[in-house]
Amino acid sequence: MNAVGEIRRSQQKPKRSSPSVYSGERPGRILAQFIAKVLKPKGLQGRCITCELFIICILTIMLKTAASLSRLGTESAFEVLARAQALMAQGKDIINLGIGQPDFKTPDHIVQAGIKALQDGHHGYTPANGIAPLRQAVAQDLERRHGAPVDPDCVVVVPGGKPTMFFAVLMFGEPGAEILYPNPGFPIYESVIKFSGATPIPYALQEDNDFAFDADQVLAKITPATRLIIINSPANPTGGVTPKTEIDKLVAGLAKHPHVALLSDEIYSQMLYGGRTHTSLLTYPEIRDRLIMLDGWSKTYAMTGWRLGYAVWPKALVADVTRLCINDHSCVNAAAQYAGLAALTGPQDAVAEMMVAFDQRRQLIVQALNSLPGVSCVDASGAFYAFPNIKATGMTSRQAQDLFLNEANVATISGTSFGAWGEGYVRFSYANSAQNIERAIERIRKVMK
């Protein structure tokens, strides 16, 4: 190209490759220029982290992302997992009692069904709400377990338990609306309520009530602005199980508030100990037209990484939630759905074996925690979490979490990661071997001296 051609070319406006709304290119260039022109000549590149972070913050502000993004919280278990993994990469022997996932492998017949689905050519999209045989199997499983009839057309299969809570909150949450949720509770509830613009209204789960919810307390928080109540039993992080009498009372009280919908998170419905029973909200026909009942495969069948869950929706909301699915993820991957079908229709022995192991570990950890100075732990009756009270140690929950991780090499989760009313507690997941649980508690005992 000659010199004139060069000049013309340089005068041409750069072409936009696409009408993208993403404006990150420009701030990225500014940061690169700042590093090249200011930090590099002074030999500060890569050293002046504060300067670089400051610039990144300024640039992030310049990107003008939606305000709602700053209201979105997180699940600290994933952050603790990342920190624990970073420490492991440094050669530290970390015992992970932080993350809430079974340490068992997915039972082999389920894995084989997933493999077979791929080999049989199930590689394409499926109906957005899930393949028909899977929705039928879910309905039959629920009828078998809870004795309540379920219409397979009201079952919507999604990638895990979380999408149902996100969709339910998006459906009912907006500025001016109020949504009730448990505190301490699964952190995603509060996070997505805030994201939706609705006002989060916590109700307390208290140790002196074995962390069951108190129906009167929940009902007393209902106002004309209340759109949705979230309940969770068996509960994360407390392991609490709400008795049927309290659920009866809640449902009876809801008769006076026909404008209020209910999201019942029953993902731990098969994880109960000490003769406890689960009362599904599906067994109350009077609220079926406003009940979203969430359950799934992650915990019961050790399938957290498969990303498979479902909810039974009120008939009137099925079309709306299906549109949310189509907009969000189209459908759940086909092989995972066939694996889920095998899980529900195949032998249940592996589930029973897991529960025997969890129960032994539960008894072990509760007893061991109660032997620590300043620690007391109620007899957790569901899920796979112990939620000891550490107030008498004089530490905050966060200090305890940091001490246990940094000094004892044991990952746990601060109670405040589950809401402000989790202060004074720490969550221990006993989805780890009995041997590791014993080792973890002994290490903690040493650093608490």
Please, which residues have CB within 8 angstroms of residue 127's CB and are 6 or more apart in sequence?
331
Q: CB of 272: closest distance to ligand PLP in angstroms?
A: 14
In angstroms, the Cα distances linking 83 to 208, 231, 265, 401 are 33, 30, 28, 12
Contact assessment for residue 447 and residue 404, using Cβ atoms and an 8 Å cutoff: yes
Residue 107 or 296: which CB sits closer to ligand PLP? 296
Q: CB of 309: closest distance to ligand PLP in angstroms?
A: 5
Residue 152 or 239: which CB sits closer to ligand PLP? 239
Residue 226 or 236: which CB sits closer to ligand PLP? 236
Strand 426-429 and strand 410-411: the pairing is: unpaired
Q: CB of 332: closest distance to ligand PLP in angstroms?
A: 11
Please, which residues have CB within 8 angstroms of residue 214's CB and are 6 or more apart in sequence?
203, 204, 206, 246
The sign of the torsion formed by the CA atoms of 164, 167, 171, 172 equals positive
Residue 186 or 448: which CB sits closer to ligand PLP? 186
Q: What is the DSSP letter of 36?
A: I
Q: CB of 265: closest distance to ligand PLP in angstroms?
A: 5
Cis amide leading into 234 (omega within 30) = yes
Residue 296 or 419: which CB sits closer to ligand PLP? 296
Q: Which two tokens stand for residue 409?
A: 């090499």
Interatomic CA distance for residues 296 and 269, integer angstroms: 10
Q: CB of 232: closest distance to ligand PLP in angstroms?
A: 5
Q: CB of 445: closest distance to ligand PLP in angstroms?
A: 28
Interatomic CA distance for residues 424 and 180, integer angstroms: 22
Contact assessment for residue 214 and residue 228, using Cβ atoms and an 8 Å cutoff: no
Q: Which two tokens stand for residue 308?
A: 């498979």
Residue 117 or 303: which CB sits closer to ligand PLP? 303
Interatomic CA distance for residues 181 and 173, integer angstroms: 13
Q: CB of 121: closest distance to ligand PLP in angstroms?
A: 27
Query: What secondary structure does DSSP assign to 75-123, as a single string?
Result: -HHHHHHHHHHHHHHTT---EE--S-S-SSPPPHHHHHHHHHHHHTT--
Q: What is the DSSP letter of 426?
A: E
Residue 31 or 351: which CB sits closer to ligand PLP? 351
Residue 162 or 278: which CB sits closer to ligand PLP? 162
Q: CB of 374: closest distance to ligand PLP in angstroms?
A: 27
Residue 178 or 265: which CB sits closer to ligand PLP? 265
Q: CB of 264: closest distance to ligand PLP in angstroms?
A: 11
Q: CB of 249: closest distance to ligand PLP in angstroms?
A: 22
21 by Cβ neighbours in 10 Å (0-12 / 13-18 / 19+) ranks as exposed
Contact assessment for residue 194 and residue 200, using Cβ atoms and an 8 Å cutoff: yes
φ, ψ of residue 348 in degrees (nearest 5): -105, 10
Residue 296 or 422: which CB sits closer to ligand PLP? 296
Binding stretches for ligand PLP (CB under 6 A):
100, 160-162, 186, 232, 236, 265, 267, 296, 298, 304, 309
